[in-house]
Structure 1
Amino acid sequence: METRGAVLRSMGAEMPYAESLPLRVEPLQLEPPGPGELLVRVRAAGVCHSDLSVVNASRPRPVPMVLGHEAAGDIEAVGAGVTDFTVGDRVVFSFVPSCGRCSFCAEGRPVLCAPGAAANAAGTLLSGARRWRDAEGQACHHHLGVSAFAEYTVVSERSAVRIDPDLPAEVAALFGCAVMTGVGAAVNTASVRPGESVVIYGMGGVGLAALLGAVAAGAWPIVAVDPVAEKLALAQRLGASHVVQARDDDALTQIREITGGGADYALETVGSEKVLEQAYFATARGGTTVTVGLPHPDRMLQIPAVSLVAEERSLRGSYMGSAVVSRDVPRFLALYRAGRLPVHELLTHRLALDDINLAFDRLARAEAVRQVILL
């Protein structure tokens, strides 16, 4: 079938992206879904730092690629052997397809699925197939098995979770990445408990979602850290008990005073090894630092090795919120419906697919929390 999608043909373009146009909305040919696959009409797609990391080459991927990974849409057709989905179902995408058979999937850690990771690195679907062709017939790669910046896409059934059809697509889309990653980091990876103190670095979409998760878990105090005053104001409105300006020379001192010597948990969502180092030192003895951001692969972290033993500190990675998507999407949606995860508050911009490069300029300049492309 014919459709349109935002194609990235080379990485590392100069800003402003509205002028260099790293993403071009092109006519594309999309092959029908194969066995175990779904054809989905994309309704809304979030613009995430993980997409920006591909555009600016800090997280290289094969090109040409149809970008986008955080989205929701409606199933238009199903491939052979699909039994868990039907035409008309509304779904949220998962950006790690889980095979259900590897050792990681078997032990309940599907975000580490080995075949899923291999497919994502190669720019294919879980089956190894590529369903995209450009106007000249050249194959295009899939982004994280989703390629959401397109009117239609084909995904593995292992990349989708059915949701209630009445949930607005622009809100539902955020559950596929920002909510899953941020809330999951707080409640799954860190396992924050009522009354425990939390400091969160970075008030972008993922950081604010982590804040919502900490609030829902009953943490106190909750300290939000960011250089942008407007984002700190939003963090306070969403439940942060304290805010700290990241550029303050005494930011770490402020955090230690607020938390009585250091936080029980520090969550880093920026993707900077320097910020991660600060987050590590913001915890108390016996504290846990959870890192969610994705720094450039060349960046290295330096911490006193002895502190891990002598102070029983912990440093943990959290990929996709350590989620089991089929379990966590429904329970996070239940919290949203109960008013305990006001995810809609993260939406700052709604735009058309043709404005995709403008969206990345806003994201790179920290002028947006979560932007959603409506299709």
Structure 2
Amino acid sequence: MRAWAVVAAKQPLQEIELPTPEPTGKQVLLEVTHAGVCHSDIHIWEGEWDLGSRGKMRLSERGVVLPLAMGHEIVGRVVKWGPDAEGQGLAVGQTRIVFPWVGCGTCARCRAEDDNMCVQGKALGVFQNGGYATHVLAPQPRHLVDPGDLDPALAATYACSGITVFSAINKVMPLPADTPIVLVGAGGLGLQAIAVLKAMGHRRIVSVDISAEKLAAAREAGATDTLEATGDDVTKRLVALCGGPVEAIIDLVNGSATARICFDALTKGGRLVQVGLFGGELTVPLPVMAMRALTVQGSYVGSPKELRALVAMAQGGRLPAIPITREPMRNADAALQRLIAGKVTGRIVLTAEAA
């Protein structure tokens, strides 16, 4: 198979040949038709995450081996499967979304379909070759979801940005429809979160970003309020915009600066859900945590159950589409560089030549 792979950290992606995997057991081989370019791919390409005072987490020390075909937002066509997958509804040529956040497959969390919480994560596009390739191997048929009537390019984004925001939103729900929910970041995740909230019937959606262009896209997507997060008084202006301290904030950037703004804006009993992987750390006053009964909670992607629920919600156009820019797979490196430069609204989705 061909892959557009990371061969060295921070170096251009290279088109290389790799052995096409032969499925065994319950594995399913798919021909990739669409692969989203996600912000997390930047960190994988860089080879490290910023953990604040804990220093850098180098992916080579966590089991990531190069060359690696990144890409965890994948749609493909079923090609073949292992003998243990017989009788599970597979047919050659089926179009399927591939759930990428796979684990060991045998622990209690994997058996409960909370694969994303497995401590032995083996995510596609991170620890195994993913969608920046002509083929990808799914561990089991249950990791495949029928996109139904969805545009496959849009459906691909649901495997990461979609279930990531869906899972995070569910951590602050239920809330009255007119209670402000603040979304920090108006990139691909932010626009996806607006779409999900609108589909849920939520009416007060506040989008925060440093880019006027991205805030304009957020308003077009359905944000009721926007705030440009420049200057030293962002928290004060955010609280004023929301009519008082905030009950629910989802930080899709999650860097030191945004986390501080979010924490300081919370009301008594308020909840901050941290999603992004920008880097840094947050120091919190412990007595305030208790006296104001605050919750600061991380949220890591989502589960196969959440992907199926999200796709069901999206059927029939009930979930507004985010902006999608299609690029041929051969342009993977250029697409990644555009994302690094902050020049992407919504999502770039790489497509196979015949897709």
Compute the TM-score of the two structures, normalised by the length of structure 2: 0.87
The aligned residue for residue 210 of structure 1 is 193
**Residue from 173, 180, 189 that aligns with 2:171:** 189
Closer, same or farther: CA 150–30 of 1 in aligned 2, 3 Å: same
The aligned residue for residue 232 of structure 2 is 249
Following superposition, the deviation at residue 30 of structure 1 comes to 1.3
The aligned residue for residue 44 of structure 1 is 34
Map 1:121-140 onto structure 2 (within 5 A): none
2: CA distance, partners of 1:213 / 1:168 = 17
Does residue 307 (structure 1) correspond to residue 307 (structure 2)? The answer is no
Following superposition, the deviation at residue 101 of structure 1 comes to 4.3
1: CA distance, partners of 2:284 / 2:39 = 26
Map 1:1-375 onto structure 2 (within 5 A): 3-13=1-11, 21=12, 23-59=13-49, 60=59, 61-83=64-86, 84=88, 85-98=90-103, 101-105=106-110, 109-115=114-120, 117=121, 119-120=122-123, 143-145=126-128, 147-157=130-140, 160-164=143-147, 166-186=149-169, 188-193=170-175, 194-296=177-279, 299-320=280-301, 323-325=302-304, 327-343=305-321, 345-347=322-324, 349-368=325-344, 369-375=346-352
Following superposition, the deviation at residue 184 of structure 1 comes to 2.2
2: CA distance, partners of 1:167 / 1:161 = 15
Q: Please list the CA deviations of residues 142-188 of structure 1 after superposition, one character each: whole Å capped at 9, or x if unmatched.
A: 635451001112221167223145432211101111111112211x2
Which ranges of structure 1 fall in alignment gaps of 5 or more residues?
14-20, 126-141
The one-letter amino acid of 1:152's match is H
2: CA distance, partners of 1:165 / 1:106 = 26
Closer, same or farther: CA 168–222 of 1 in aligned 2, 3 Å: closer
The aligned residue for residue 138 of structure 1 is none
2: CA distance, partners of 1:159 / 1:206 = 25
Q: Please list the CA deviations of residues 209-250 of structure 1 after superposition, one character each: whole Å capped at 9, or x if unmatched.
A: 122222233334321011111211111111111100011433
Are 1:99 and 1:113, in contact at CA under 8 Å, matched by a contact in 2? Answer: yes
The one-letter amino acid of 1:53's match is H
The one-letter amino acid of 2:298's match is G
Between the aligned residues of both structures, percent identity stands at 26
Count residues in correspondence.
335
Match of 1:284, SS state, is strand
Match of 1:278, SS state, is helix
Closer, same or farther: CA 107–149 of 1 in aligned 2, 3 Å: closer
Following superposition, the deviation at residue 98 of structure 1 comes to 4.6
Between 1:42-51 and 1:93-102, the stretch displaced more is 93-102
The one-letter amino acid of 1:72's match is V
Are 1:200 and 1:225, in contact at CA under 8 Å, matched by a contact in 2? Answer: yes
Match of 1:26, SS state, is strand
Are 1:78 and 1:87, in contact at CA under 8 Å, matched by a contact in 2? Answer: no
Match of 1:66, SS state, is coil
Closer, same or farther: CA 339–169 of 1 in aligned 2, 3 Å: closer
2: CA distance, partners of 1:366 / 1:192 = 33
The one-letter amino acid of 1:324's match is S
Closer, same or farther: CA 336–31 of 1 in aligned 2, 3 Å: closer
Match of 1:243, SS state, is strand
Are 2:180 and 2:242, in contact at CA under 8 Å, matched by a contact in 1? Answer: yes
1: CA distance, partners of 2:98 / 2:202 = 29
The one-letter amino acid of 1:5's match is A
RMSD: 2.1
Match of 1:230, SS state, is helix
Are 2:181 and 2:206, in contact at CA under 8 Å, matched by a contact in 1? Answer: yes
Match of 1:276, SS state, is helix
Following superposition, the deviation at residue 71 of structure 1 comes to 1.1
The one-letter amino acid of 2:37's match is V
Match of 1:40, SS state, is strand
Following superposition, the deviation at residue 251 of structure 1 comes to 2.2
1: CA distance, partners of 2:148 / 2:197 = 28
Are 1:95 and 1:144, in contact at CA under 8 Å, matched by a contact in 2? Answer: no
